[in-house]
Structure 1
Amino acid sequence: MYKQFLTIIFCAITLNGFSQNTKLETSIDDLSNRLVNSQEVAGITILLLKDDEVLYNKAFGYADVEAMRPLRTDNIFRIASQTKAITSVAVMILWEQGKILLDDPISKYVPQFKNPQVLDKFNPADSSYTTVPAQREITVRDLLRHTSGIDYPTISDDTKMQAIYAKAGAVTGIGNKGVLKERMELLAKQPLRYQPGTAFTYGLNTDVLGYLVEIVSGIPLDKFFQTKIFAPLRMTDTQFKVSQDQVNRLVTVSEKTDKGFAKVNHTIYENSNVAYPLEDEIYLSGGAGLTSTTADYAKFLQMMVNGGSYHGKRVLGAKTVELMTTNQLSQEVISHGDPVFRFGLGFELVTEENKFINAPSVGTFSWSGAFSTHYWADPKENIVGLVFTQEYFRPNHNDLGTLYKNVVYANLEMRTTSK
């Protein structure tokens, strides 16, 4: 009788889990099919893990809309700003080794950043400008949390900074040719948008950190990534340059037109070739240069969720991960920008202060890439989610990731109720 009772309980639990997974699968299928059929995305792949086990892994639509090549779950994407998290981890590896301090001035390692200047007056007629001295030096911490005052070329919302960068030849790091050292030394000569430490300014901060990694470690950024992060995590599909045997898995970039989606065959951003992952002499951008798959990037995120280790390989200490996923924005910075935005050392965060607008748990960290790739990781529920598409200048970019988060959290039974 006791055995029969246990069997009934086991079956009930199993059926409940199956029901939950079926409901989740159906809901994600419905959302994905709707987005593809309504021409809101050309193709999209979704990978969802819970407790380091795959709950969902499917692809919809096309990897190449022109050739009508179906998208697959192992396709390779330009992950652009998702590179930033990997570079941030590389910096923290050096920090753990006692080679840098977070509040070191970056000029200690890159002298060209000594005595930074802040934009004062700007003349739109010729993009000339005047500056005032920065009140303090830019620190490594500033670069990790984007409070250095460095802005982004081309995609900045400040037309003055766009004009200044364009005139100087500063670039986004998305497919640009050149050498990292030269690109960062040029950037160091440009004025800051804000005084260091006073505002969150999303910019080329992580490219500077990539150069820092090269200087302190003494090896190229791609080699550091490979030896310290990719190899331990068995990330075999993440790289700056796609190899010949991976070419057929690289997704083409699409853009929305009046007739639906079309393959991008023109140059992008600062006249870069859209096929830049296949080219030589592209500078190693720590902020935007990598390509990857959902499966590969999930290994990186699972490492972070696990407190710095993955399948027996430790990349970071647990306390380091805790520090990286703790809000680093001061009240002054918060009051200067979005009052509910919180950011750690390389990641956007869900905190008690902004939980009311987020479905994921407090402690969740996330970010996205310029071609509309999205990720989040929820340590409380041990969930890793990735939503990848490949679109040039997608409107309402961040909404896509939010749609999938909402569907996942509405249809998957959680182990706890988030506050």
Structure 2
Amino acid sequence: MPNIYLYTKKTAALAVLLLVVAALNSDANAQVKKSAAQGLPIVAPQQVGFSASRLNRIDSLLNSYTKDHRIGGVVALVARQGKIAYWNASGYSDIKNNKLLQRTDLFRIASQTKAVTCAAVMMLYEEGKLLIDDPISKYIPEFRNSQVIKTFNEKDTTYTTEPAKREVTIRDLLTHTSGIGYAVIGSKEMRAIYVKNNIPVGFEPRKLVLGDRIKALGKLPLAHQPGLQYTYGLNMDVLGYLVEVVSGMSLDAFFKERIFNPLGMKDTYFYIPAEKQSRLSKVFKSNNKGIVEENEDKVDSAGVNTIYPLVKGTFYAGGAGLSSTAYDYCLFLQMLANGGTLDGKRLMSPHTIRLMRINQIGDIPLGMSPNKAGFSFEVVTEKGATVGPWAEGTYAGGGFWGSNYWVDPESDLVVQIWTQGGGWLLGDMINKFKAMVYGALVDDYGNKFKK
């Protein structure tokens, strides 16, 4: 059982509730223990270079945010050398019903889907099915002869365009430099254009089909000339459809057959089966006092649907659609950290993974970040490594509702901290968590700085 901080006046009643919840989750926990013996074993922290007492201080950090509902619930997992040294849950998956968060609960991981889609594209690249610098129109003709927005009238959302100077390539899509924007959460211009043309953000309960919407997207203008700037957008959704075109499989089927099943990922889905839906954490939003409340609506305050994992949907969004557990996703990250293999099963080559985790945008700024972009990942630069304790070359990502991860090759670390809506305090908690993880790493790794 995770070490969960219990904060309530009705301690005795909730203690009984905790036993009930434990019983309900016993099957899930038993499955994790069984699979962990094959995938990621749980070991004493000192076996992989951590101070146990220092690492366990993370409990108090997480509890300090969840005890008064500044954050609803959080799961944190720290693995080193392919072994789990810390894995804990704090707070609630459902505050209204006093349902405590379990470390095996499912989360909407949103943009963490992107790394899986990127891996799928690179697997096809390894098989000679495509080239990174191919124009996307070679596979999706609707992207041929792209136009770029020249002027935009905010009053009636009309616009003028000019021809793109070159075709959008797969590389542009992998690095978010294509000029494709985001629906709902993107710029006002692209939001307006995409709403008018029924382009979804990726959290989709409607009976839409990925290929239909991506073909429609291909006929719409770009926000800027391809390859000139970084614009976070629906690039991985386009690449999800590319995987379907090239492989002849739905993205859902490709993920299951080529990635999830080989890695033993048994809790990762676009649409969660009925028997596992009770393990999906609620989404939370912060009120004006910084206290989280359960999101009662089917659409959250940002205009984003939250009910989508619980329906029988048909839209496999390569940029945002998955739900998973921290353990399941750690299997995927550990495969990348291992150079493409896990439990003797090779999914990718280490040389291909190197392409994913190095700077692929040159001197193009990554917003206000000191870091750069690889293929789907944020890549920590020398300057970025001065901001916090992670090493240069670390690659990282996260999801819309507050799930975050990073892989630090130099320290041989895979780290995750997940929540489902943390408000303005989320960054504060993550930065403190990061400091505490590295502050607990006390083996010979640190001795090189003394030489």
Report the TM-score, using the length of structure 2 for normalisation: 0.84
Partner of 2:76: 46
Partner of 2:445: 416
> In the TM superposition, what whole-angstrom CA distance separates every residue of 1:195-225 from its partner, at most 9, and x where no partner exists?
1000111000000000000000001001100
Partner of 1:98: 128
Which amino acid in 2 is paired with 1:172? V
Cα separation, partners in 2 of 1:409 and 1:18, compared to 1, 3 Å: closer
Q: 1:78 aligns with which of 92, 101, 108?
A: 108
Cα separation, partners in 2 of 1:339 and 1:242, compared to 1, 3 Å: closer
Contact 1:381/1:414 (<8 A) preserved:
no
Partner of 1:261: 292
Distance 2:279 2:160 in 1: 48
Partner-residue secondary structure (3-state), 1:160: helix
Q: 1:302 aligns with which of 314, 334, 341?
A: 334
Distance 2:270 2:113 in 1: 10
Distance 2:47 2:397 in 1: 29
Alignment of 1:402-413 (within 5 A): 402-413=431-442
Distance 1:211 1:18 in 2: 40
Partner-residue secondary structure (3-state), 2:56: helix
Partner-residue secondary structure (3-state), 1:46: strand
Contact 1:350/1:358 (<8 A) preserved:
no
Task: Out of 353-362 and 102-111, give the one that drifted further.
Answer: 353-362
Partner-residue secondary structure (3-state), 2:417: strand
RMSD between superposed Cα atoms in Å = 2.2
Partner of 1:172: 201
Cα separation, partners in 2 of 1:350 and 1:181, compared to 1, 3 Å: same
Structure 1 residue 338, shift from structure 2 partner: 3.4
Structure 1 residue 407, shift from structure 2 partner: 1.6
Alignment of 1:258-297 (within 5 A): 258=288, 260-268=291-299, 273-297=305-329
Structure 1 residue 187, shift from structure 2 partner: 1.3
Paired residues in the alignment total: 402
Q: 2:417 aligns with which of 387, 390, 396?
A: 387
Distance 2:106 2:402 in 1: 13
Structure 1 residue 257, shift from structure 2 partner: 2.1
Which amino acid in 2 is paired with 1:303? M
Contact 1:239/1:292 (<8 A) preserved:
yes
Partner of 2:353: 321
Distance 2:288 2:336 in 1: 42
Distance 1:68 1:273 in 2: 24
Cα separation, partners in 2 of 1:309 and 1:367, compared to 1, 3 Å: same
Partner-residue secondary structure (3-state), 1:395: helix
> In the TM superposition, what whole-angstrom CA distance separates every residue of 1:229-255 from its partner, at most 9, and x where no partner exists?
001100000111111221121111111
Cα separation, partners in 2 of 1:61 and 1:397, compared to 1, 3 Å: closer
Structure 1 residue 113, shift from structure 2 partner: 0.5
Partner of 1:133: 163
Q: Structure 2: state its 5+ residue gaps.
A: 1-43
Partner-residue secondary structure (3-state), 1:49: strand
Partner-residue secondary structure (3-state), 1:316: coil
Distance 2:225 2:426 in 1: 28
Which amino acid in 2 is paired with 1:296? D
